[in-house]
Each structure stands twice: as structure tokens, then as C-alpha cells.
Chains A and B, each alone.
Chain A
């Protein structure tokens, strides 16, 4: 229930958003405040609803390629990955190994870009302006690399059922190697500039502690779950694509506060770099697309659920086919939706300024929640 103002009580009902700078998009949170303390926080969603799921039911599979990137504009490739994997699983298509490696390389680069965007935006929420300039400098390198191979900077629509639509070239591979070296040296800058900073530490340590029970109760995933000590990562617990061939860690921090989530994401970027490096070293030759993909992709009858690890957590596609080339149902389980759902319980009794830090640390992407 959204709280209504009550003149007999000494509480204040305050709208945060839908155009609040710290909600990163059109999220509205109705707050009930007692002074500076939050009593209740009710997220109101739907401002960015664009009927992506419905479009999935009226368009054929290739018509939906453009939609997946629009849901999560920060980590568009993981959304594309889940979509094509679900369809491929339903149709039993074997993707050439080179294509799968390319998917992993680009998705991991995209994950780093997404975390860098989060890094900048989160600190911006906390009032630190300069870090975003550093992180966007690095992010720019990734976007240039991805633009070179996919042709777009944000909404890539690069993955196709049966492969990817363009092969990697030498320039991308060399550029990525240079980037890996550069990025490794940049973490030190981030740690010096931000991680050790006393003001930052005071604002995030011990703030917004999420217990593992709460994570399980609300089904939160991704860095939010790993920041509470739950080593749940789809790449490890339910390996898809070629992730089982790489050697990487799942960073977890048990504290459960905003600082733990921050450290999870920074550590994850390093792991993603490791994956990219290994994948580049072992990149097999061969085609990047299955030879014969039927023009009309007849889906089903049947159903599949395919989960992938997006930058924000578990992303699931539940695809039901009825024998035609248009899905009967395409349900999407976006990670941010579940991560946002714990906000009300989490916000009880915190300071208003801390709520901004908590929401920032959840890394919400609103179009993905609203779909």
C-alpha cells in the first residue's frame, strides 16, 4: 500500500522520483518519513513500460533481436545472450565454438562496461563527481571496441540464433589485449581514489546490510547476493555457453552492506578481464554462424527456461512455443526487479541520505524492471 499523507501523524510522505537524479531513470519511490528517517519506502514502477514481453509474443524471433538490448541498456549483450540461448535450446541448434567464444568475450566486456557505468553513477549519487570521469574514460575504450565489432555502442543486437552476425577482426583482438593491460593498472587508481577514501567509507560501511535470509526471501541475485556472502552465479552453478572452460572466481563478501556490493563489482571486473584474456588466448578458428539456420524458426511445441548471469544478476528467459515461428509466450525474469523488491524491508529505519546509497548499490536499471 502506498502511504497517504496523514495530518494527525507527525510523518511526512515524500515522492522520490520519478525524475530524481539518484533513481537513474523513471523509478518513483514513495517514502514515509519521520524526520530524516525512512519508515516505509514503496517503489512504484511502470513508467518505462514498453511491452517488451508482449512484443515477444507478436514478433518472430529475429524481430525481437532489437528489443533485448533496449531492456537493459547498460548490459545489452547478456540480454541478447539469454534470448538466443533459449531459442537455440528449443530448436537444438549447436553453435560453432568460435561464435560461443565471441559471445563470451563481448558479453564480459559488456559486463565490465556496465559495472564501470554503475561505479560512476553510484559515486555520483554519493556526491563524488570525479570518479565517473575516470570510469567513463575506461568505458569508452570498451564501447569503441564493441562498436567496432557490433556496429553500435549501446543497443548492439549482435547475437543471432546460430551465432553472431560479424566475426572479430585483428583490430578488435589487439585492442582488447591493450585494454586488458590498461584496465588492470586502472584498478589501483580506483582503489586509491575511491575505495580508501574516508568519506566514501563512512557513507557505505555498515549501511543497508542485507542478510542472506533476506536475499533468499526476495530472490535477489547477482552482485547483491554475492555481497551478502552467497556465491550464487549462474556462470558457475548452471554453466551455459562455454563458461565451464574458463578459470575464474566468484568474488563474495559476507558483510552485506553497500561497501561489500561495491567490492564485489570491482572484483568481478577483474574476473571478467581474466575470462576475456583466456577466451582470446584460446579463440578457435572456424565459422561464426551455423551453416543452415532455417528461415522460419519453428518454435516448439514445448517450453524452455534459460538463465544467464547478466551484469545485475540472474536473467531468465522462459520461452513457450506452439509450433509457429512466433513464441506463444516469452517471459523475462530480469534481475533488477527482484533486487528492487527488497528495498521496502531494507529501507526501514535508515536515513534518507543512506537510502540513496542503498538504491545506488543495488544497481537498478529501470527499463529492465518495467520491460
Chain B
């Protein structure tokens, strides 16, 4: 009999103890952020989709079209194409496409790049109405970002380099012949 009442009393007491905790936290300051009115600061290490690194002074990219990133990607989301401007020794980047629908954000591409030409962007507010919204043209994005930085973009610059004349030979490299699907 006594045990019965004691159980009831202890049970009720345990509820009161819990309620006290609830009461304490009800009066404590809020811990949540009222998105979209407030926004949290994103850590500089955040891994968003990849972007080409802009040199903020010259507006140039660092890519040497070595295709390492394309080969390192386990999901096959990267398509890189380059072209040799007339008279130049090295290829310049003409096309860099990222199929973000397939990207698993593993970071292999950024690690594979020998010249650190790609970086992670900090974009997390990404939404779209069709999957084609996520087929990014990073060269185009590069130009836009240059403009916001206030430099003239110098990417995919195919103006002939003035050197000693050579037999005309323009070579288009197309290792990356994977078409964006859709």
C-alpha cells in the first residue's frame, strides 16, 4: 500500500523535475537562427561545388588542362576541354563543365589538381526546378565572378600568340567528350 503511493508520488515528482528543466529552457535565450531573416556564417572550409580559382589581380585561371581532375572524379561529373591558341606551346582551358547532379562532394578533384586551379565554393543556397540547372559551366561562372571582383576575365583566351611563324596547325583536344546528359 505504501509502496503504491510512493510510486505515484515518485512518478509525479519525476515529471515535475522534467518540467523544471523545460521551464528553465523556456526562459533561456533561443538557440536557433531565424532563417531567412538571419543567416549563419559559413565556415571558410565549407565544401560546396567546385569553382575555378580566380587570380584577383590578373583575372586569369590556373588550369593547365591536364585532365587530372576529370580522371580523379569517381562519378564522372567533370568535362574539361582545352585548345592550343595559334603559336602557343600550352593548351588553354576553353570549357569546364560540372554536372553537379552526380557530384558526391568527395574532394578528389581538388586534391588531384597539380596547380590548385579549382576550389570549393561556399554556395549552399542551391535550388532549381530542373536538373539542367545543376549542369554548371564553370568558365561562364568564372567570367561572372571576375566581373564581381572588378577584373577583366582572361579565360579561354585564344588570341594567337605572336611567335615565329609555324605551319598552321590547330589542334582541338577532346578527351572530355562526355556529353552532359539530358
Residues of B near A66 (CB, < 8 A) are 74-75, 104-106
- Contacting pair A152 B47 (CB below 8 A): yes
Residues of B near A322 (CB, < 8 A) are none
Contacts A148-B43, A198-B10; A157 near B107 (Cβ below 8 A): yes
Interface range, B side? 20 to 34
Q: Per-residue CB proximity of B141-163 to A under 8 Å, as 1/0?
A: 00000000000000000000000
A147 close to B (CB within 8 Å): yes
Residues of B near A137 (CB, < 8 A) are 31
A73 close to B (CB within 8 Å): no
B108 close to A (CB within 8 Å): yes
- Contacting pair B15 A152 (CB below 8 A): no
- Contacting pair B45 A148 (CB below 8 A): yes
Residues of A near B20 (CB, < 8 A) are 192
User: Which A124-139 residues sit within 8 Å CB-CB of chain B?
Assistant: 130, 134, 137
Return the chain B residue nearest A58 by Cβ: B74
The CA-CA distance from A1 to B96 in the complex, in Å, is 53
Q: Which of A134, A152, A199 has the most CB of B within 10 A?
A: A152
The CA-CA distance from A151 to B120 in the complex, in Å, is 9
A185 close to B (CB within 8 Å): no
User: Which B65-118 residues sit within 8 Å CB-CB of chain A?
Assistant: 72, 74-75, 104-108, 111
Return the chain A residue nearest B68 by Cβ: A295
Residues of A near B47 (CB, < 8 A) are 150-152
The CA-CA distance from A165 to B43 in the complex, in Å, is 16
- Contacting pair A151 B22 (CB below 8 A): no
The CA-CA distance from A22 to B159 in the complex, in Å, is 63
The CA-CA distance from A152 to B49 in the complex, in Å, is 12
- Contacting pair B14 A196 (CB below 8 A): yes
Residues of A near B22 (CB, < 8 A) are 130, 193
The CA-CA distance from A63 to B74 in the complex, in Å, is 5
B180 close to A (CB within 8 Å): no
Total residues of chain A contacting the partner, CB 8 A: 33
Return the chain B residue nearest A145 by Cβ: B43
- Contacting pair A192 B45 (CB below 8 A): no
Contacts A66-B105, A151-B120, A157-B105; A198 near B11 (Cβ below 8 A): yes
Residues of A near B12 (CB, < 8 A) are 198
The CA-CA distance from A64 to B75 in the complex, in Å, is 10
- Contacting pair A198 B15 (CB below 8 A): yes
User: Which A144-200 residues sit within 8 Å CB-CB of chain B?
Assistant: 144, 147-152, 155, 157, 160, 165-166, 189, 192-194, 196-199
Residues of A near B25 (CB, < 8 A) are 134
A271 close to B (CB within 8 Å): no
- Contacting pair A62 B74 (CB below 8 A): yes
- Contacting pair A64 B18 (CB below 8 A): no
The CA-CA distance from A197 to B46 in the complex, in Å, is 40
- Contacting pair A197 B18 (CB below 8 A): yes
Return the chain B residue nearest A144 by Cβ: B43
The CA-CA distance from A148 to B47 in the complex, in Å, is 10
- Contacting pair A165 B111 (CB below 8 A): yes
Return the chain A residue nearest B44 by Cβ: A148
The CA-CA distance from A137 to B29 in the complex, in Å, is 13
A54 close to B (CB within 8 Å): no
User: Which B3-24 residues sit within 8 Å CB-CB of chain A?
Assistant: 10-12, 14-15, 17-18, 20-22
Q: Which of A144, A166, A198 has the most CB of B within 10 A?
A: A198
CB pairs A–B below 8 angstroms (13 shown): A66-B75, A130-B22, A147-B45, A147-B46, A148-B43, A150-B45, A157-B104, A160-B111, A165-B111, A189-B21, A194-B18, A196-B18, A198-B10
Q: A-side interface residues toward B, CB under 8 Å?
A: 59, 62-67, 70, 130, 134, 137, 140, 144, 147-152, 155, 157, 160, 165-166, 189, 192-194, 196-199, 201
Q: B-side interface residues toward A, CB under 8 Å?
A: 10-12, 14-15, 17-18, 20-22, 25, 31, 43, 45-47, 72, 74-75, 104-108, 111, 120
Known: A157-B107, A194-B18, A198-B10. 5 other contacts (CB 8 A): A59-B74, A66-B74, A157-B104, A193-B22, A196-B17
